[in-house]
Chain A
Amino acid sequence: DAGVIQSPRHEVTEMGQEVTLRCKPISGHDYLFWYRQTMMRGLELLIYFNNNVPIDDSGMPEDRFSAKMPNASFSTLKIQPSEPRDSAVYFCASSNSARRELFFGEGSRLTVL
């Protein structure tokens, strides 16, 4: 079975540019999570969805961040405009409410210059 698939794996962009990160969860999973990982702050939950509906977005840093899940097999995390402090590894994870095991993608490493 394919795991959680994220793209791009690496992105380098300049301050002010729009960044879109993509995630395909594991088929049949009804929860999807976006995390951000930095050395300073560790692993932070940004937002999570249940059955494509955003449930808790209290971790989203500010209005520059937005996330969507138009269907059960796709989600995006958008940063507009990006800033150097957004540089981090962004992880998508999915789970099945019956099993409660969280499966992570390989992450998208974002560098904002």
Chain B
Amino acid sequence: GEDVEQSLFLSVREGDSSVINCTYTDSSSTYLYWYKQEPGAGLQLLTYIFSNMDMKQDQRLTVLLNKKDKHLSLRIADTQTGDSAIYFCASAGDAGNMLTFGGGTRLMVKP
């Protein structure tokens, strides 16, 4: 089945850029997502990208997709302490709405 991998932890200083990486195995993945989970809360959809795109920008967030390498990244510009959270990458194919989630990357932003 589909497998989605992420590094466990990232620490950055406030004001720096953060880059969170993700790899997936299913080449037929059509939709790729980034979710954010703050402590004690559910997962919140941040952004998503279709597999026919290679970049999507939304304010401080930039998603890059390298379909050949099955690599997805999320760049957060000017990272703030409020960005501290767990970030999940997820993929979905064409059929159905089932998402496969990575293990999550805990982002810690130091003041």
A95 & B42 in contact (Cβ 8 Å cutoff) = no
Residue from A31, A42, A100 within 8 A of B101 (CB atoms)? A42
Kindly provide the distance from the CB of A4 to the nearest chain B CB, expressed in whole angstroms. 8
A56 & B92 in contact (Cβ 8 Å cutoff) = no
Stretch at the interface among B19-27, B43-51, B53-61: B43-51
Residue from A43, A45, A50 within 8 A of B88 (CB atoms)? A43
A100 & B97 in contact (Cβ 8 Å cutoff) = yes
Chain A residues within 8 Å of chain B by Cβ, number: 22
Asked if A55 CB lies within 8 Å of chain B CBs, one says yes
A104 & B43 in contact (Cβ 8 Å cutoff) = yes
A104 & B31 in contact (Cβ 8 Å cutoff) = no
In the assembled complex, the Cα of A106 lies from the Cα of B88 at a distance in Å of 16
Interface secondary structure of B, over-half rule? strand
Give chain A residues whose Cβ lies under 8 Å from the Cβ of B43.
Answer: 43, 91, 93, 102, 104
B97 & A107 in contact (Cβ 8 Å cutoff) = no
Enumerate A22-53 residues with CB–CB distance to B below 8 Å: 31, 33, 42-43, 45, 48, 50
Known: A43-B104, A100-B31, A102-B99. A107 touches B42 (CB 8 A): yes
A101 & B103 in contact (Cβ 8 Å cutoff) = no
Kindly provide the distance from the CB of A36 to the nearest chain B CB, expressed in whole angstroms. 12
Give chain B residues whose Cβ lies under 8 Å from the Cβ of A50.
Answer: 96-97
Asked if A65 CB lies within 8 Å of chain B CBs, one says no
In the assembled complex, the Cα of A106 lies from the Cα of B38 at a distance in Å of 10
In the assembled complex, the Cα of A113 lies from the Cα of B59 at a distance in Å of 45
Residue from B88, B92, B96 within 8 A of A55 (CB atoms)? B96
B45 & A105 in contact (Cβ 8 Å cutoff) = no
In the assembled complex, the Cα of A43 lies from the Cα of B4 at a distance in Å of 12
B48 & A91 in contact (Cβ 8 Å cutoff) = no
Kindly provide the distance from the CB of A59 to the nearest chain B CB, expressed in whole angstroms. 10
Enumerate B63-100 residues with CB–CB distance to A below 8 Å: 88, 90, 92, 96-99
A residues contacting B by CB (< 8 A) are 4, 31, 33, 42-43, 45, 48, 50, 55-56, 91, 93, 95, 97, 100-107
